[in-house]
């Protein structure tokens, strides 16, 4: 495995960053997870745009242009001889002092890792997964905008620990007002009476790239979609539920807090979108070259 760090490629055992890097010391940085299928990188432009938006929001200036970083992503895949897999792209504030201030970090650190990924077992895509509500709440906009895909993921990690301890595949996170925000690593959608519903970004959800694809699929299929505030009751009484994410893709959820959703099986709209999404991943995207 060859890993990109600041313009050079290193073997896995030689790929190192400073212990004084503020990404390690303070979680000061941003990242993107990107999938590639059949020799094409899926929605690469959308991921790169979000990365640079996140950087701007936290006053982090990458020392590489978006075009050059895009090419570096493609080259990392080539260096590893892969046609299908996952990219983890990270930009940290860089090496600095033990003090909190980023003004002592003169240069960001850029890391690109290309590898395989398998987030959920095949049977969960076939039969659906169970979700539980986590006590850990989503970080509010006033603390750190959920729109920033930052390295500060402890909030999500703690919620994931809760879900795992409960034997669930995912954990549902609410915001401070008690409305549904998202899951620990995925956006959430429900279907009720032929209408697709998902929490608004203002609820604390990330504007997921796969979330955006679902909006496109809904428009293509002529299915209404809206973004109201949702409660757990809305999920309990939904006809269908599915989760979306770059790593997860589209996966059905069939139970929340021991309550079956719909008939407790993946619904027809969920299955339709899963199939259409699979088609898109194999036929569209930026060629690796």
Instruction: Identify the H or E element spanning 221.
Output: helix 209-221
The answer to whether residue 66 is catalytic is: no
Is there a contact between 281 and 35 (Cβ–Cβ < 8 Å)? Answer: yes
Distance CA 274, CA 268 (A): 10
Give Cα separations from 286 to 74, 83, 99, 213 (angstroms).
Answer: 9, 12, 41, 16
Distance CA 124, CA 130 (A): 9
Distance CA 216, CA 267 (A): 19
Tell the burial category of 162 from Cβ atoms under 10 Å away from its Cβ (0-12, 13-18, 19+).
middle
Is there a contact between 30 and 151 (Cβ–Cβ < 8 Å)? Answer: yes
Give Cα separations from 215 to 1, 218, 237 (angstroms).
Answer: 36, 5, 22
Query: Which residue of the set 2, 16, 149, 255 is catalytic?
Result: 149
DSSP 10: E
Which residues are annotated as catalytic? 149
């Amino acid at each position: 495995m060859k890993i990109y760090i600041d313009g050079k490629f290193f073997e896995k055992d030689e790929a190192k960053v400073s212990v004084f890097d503020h990404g390690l010391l303070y979680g000061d940085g941003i990242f993107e997870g990107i999938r590639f299928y059949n020799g094409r990188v899926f929605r690469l432009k959308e991921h790169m745009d979000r990365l640079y938006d996140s950087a701007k929001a936290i006053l982090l200036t990458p020392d590489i242009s978006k075009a050059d970083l895009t090419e570096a992503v493609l080259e990392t895949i080539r260096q590893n001889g892969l046609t299908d897999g996952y990219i983890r792209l990270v930009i940290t504030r860089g090496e600095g002092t033990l003090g909190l201030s980023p003004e002592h970090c003169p240069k960001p650190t850029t890391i690109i890792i290309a590898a395989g990924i398998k987030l959920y077992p095949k049977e969960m895509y076939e039969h659906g997964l169970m979700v539980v509500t986590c006590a850990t709440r989503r970080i509010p906009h006033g603390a750190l905008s959920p729109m920033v895909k930052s390295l500060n993921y402890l909030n999500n990690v703690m919620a994931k620990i809760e879900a795992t301890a409960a034997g669930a595949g995912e954990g549902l996170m609410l915001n401070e007002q008690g409305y549904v925000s998202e899951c620990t690593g995925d956006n959430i959608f429900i279907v009720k009476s032929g209408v697709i519903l998902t929490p608004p970004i203002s609820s604390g959800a990330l504007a997921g790239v796969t979330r955006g694809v679902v909006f496109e699929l809904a428009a293509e299929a002529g299915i209404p979609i809206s973004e109201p505030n949702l409660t757990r009751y809305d999920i309990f009484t939904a006809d269908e539920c599915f989760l979306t994410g770059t790593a997860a893709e589209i996966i059905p959820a069939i139970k929340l807090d021991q309550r079956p959703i719909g008939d407790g099986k993946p619904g027809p709209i969920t299955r339709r979108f899963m199939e259409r999404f699979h088609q898109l991943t194999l036929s569209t995207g930026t060629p690796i070259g």
